[in-house]
Amino acid sequence: MNDFQSAAPIKAHRGVMLLIFGILGIICCFIFAILAWVMGGNDLKAMAAGQMDPSGEGLTKAAKILGIIGCVLAILSILWAVFFGGLAALGAMRS
């Protein structure tokens, strides 16, 4: 048995899809940011282990970073809404 028969086939990278998820996570939907972050991390581990095509490593890293940024922005937006919403409610109670 030669090396070609014993080697498991490597999976194609999902860099473009994850990059789109990262962009969507920043622009409109926070769920896509989570997906880009988690799936990007898993794909980078698979690339390092030789189980996935490493040609999409740059795209996958960018997608993971965009996912992290999208999650941070979503959390800051929620905190901002809660804080200023609370201030508005207090202001309405005083009037």
Summarize pLDDT for 43-73 with one digit per residue, the tens: 999 999 999 999 999 999 999 999 999 999 9
Using an 8 Å Cβ cutoff, are 15 and 56 in contact? yes
What pLDDT does residue 89 have? 72
List, as one string, the DSSP characters of 56-74: GHHHHHHHHHHHHHHHHHH
Q: What is the pLDDT of residue 2?
A: 54
Residue pair 43/16 in contact by the 8 Å Cβ criterion:
no
Query: What is the tens place of the pLDDT at every residue in 28-42?
Result: 999 999 999 999 999
Q: How confident is residue 87, by pLDDT bands cut at 50, 70 and 90?
A: confident
| pLDDT for 79 beyond 60 | yes
Q: Is residue 36 within 8 Å of residue 64, measured between CB atoms?
A: yes
Sign of CA dihedral 36, 39, 42, 45: negative
